[in-house]
A = this chain, B = another copy of it.
Amino acid sequence: MALLDLSNELALGIDIGGTNTKFGIVNHRGEILEKGTMKTTGYDTVIDFIDTLYNNIQILLQKLPDISVVGIGIGAPNANYYKGTIEHAPNLSWKGVIPFSKLITEKFGKDCRITNDANAAALGELMYGAARGMKDFIMITLGTGVGSGIISNGQLIYGHDGFAGELGHCIVKPGGRKHWSTGSEGSLEAYASATGISITAKKLRAEFPNSLLNNFPEEVINAQTVYECAEKGDEIAIEVFRYTGQILGQALANFVMFSSPEAILLFGGVIKAGDYILKPTKLHMEKNLLPIFRDKVTLVTSELNEADAAILGASALVWEK
């Protein structure tokens, strides 16, 4: 019996960021056949943005004759899976509630699904990456902010309103560090994001004048420069990651006791610090777990190429059951 040949069925994946929008044509195996990028900003209206996006994608499609795009998947901040909307996204210039999925379908003539970028990343890992074959895992994206996507029983958890999985905003230190944007006190994002790490580094280097961190001007104190100092043996830089890992690990323990995943996938710029952050994270996760959960959850770093992961994740929405 011949297997169904799906090779010419392709998905269009689009990742909308605050600055850039990336897009690509992806096959079932997670190979990006063609891809492109454009600015997200500088358009008078969302319609103008979509018109330009359409034209850019037509150019890609003309390079791929004999293929069929079966659907469009989009990752975007504050995207609502159920309604197909982008709602009050602080980093986008389109304000209010945008019926984005509907506008895309009208322009492209294809079904469109939309979800937030971290959810899309989780689907990308499930379909093409380190989470293939898993039914229960949590994806944590550690970048400028902290995002998350939760897969339980093989499905993405969207919640009743489509906004589930905002683990970066969980309070991990009640009364702790005030968040620069939400105003909440002690959220995971306030500590474990790249932004949080640079705040911790600035505080610690002020207390320890001998730290190598003091060799850098204020504006370049970030996860990368802290890593460089840690590699040179600077104990304060190492402490920045240890402290971050402690808070992240405590938070992960709580997440494990919620959905009991077999793995937690970490993705994003922050994990380039490697064991400086991963070891204390693992240590404090295990320490805070109920014994029944200990030594069961693997901490995994993403296998996907970071430049392509957002496109792949968005495209995975098309194949999602």
Closest to A172 in B: B174
Q: Which of A60-68, A156-164, A204-212, A309-317 contacts B (4 or more CB under 8 A)?
A: A156-164
* Contact indicator B152/A136 (Cβ below 8 Å): no
* In the complex, chain A residues 6-26 whose Cβ is within 8 Å of any chain B Cβ: none
Q: Interface 1/0s, chain A 163-206, versus B by CB < 8 A?
A: 11111011111100000001010000000000000000000000
* Contact indicator A170/B260 (Cβ below 8 Å): no
Tell yes or no: A254 within 8 A of B by CB.
yes
Bound state CA distance, A167 and B78, in angstroms?
27
CB-CB under 8 A for A257 and B288, given A136-B160, A152-B159: no
CB-CB under 8 A for A262 and B152, given A173-B174, A292-B78: no
Return A133 CB to nearest CB of chain B, in Å: 12
Main secondary structure on chain A at its contact with chain B? loop
* Contact indicator A258/B150 (Cβ below 8 Å): yes
* Contact indicator B255/A160 (Cβ below 8 Å): no
Tell yes or no: A153 within 8 A of B by CB.
yes
- The number of chain A residues with a CB under 8 A from chain B is 45
Bound state CA distance, A159 and B157, in angstroms?
13
Point out the residues of chain B lying under 8 angstroms from A134, CB to CB: 160
- Given A159-B259, A166-B257, 20 more contacts at CB 8 Å? A136-B164, A153-B153, A157-B258, A157-B260, A158-B260, A161-B260, A161-B296, A163-B260, A163-B292, A163-B293, A164-B258, A165-B258, A165-B259, A166-B293, A167-B257, A169-B290, A171-B250, A173-B174, A182-B290, A184-B288
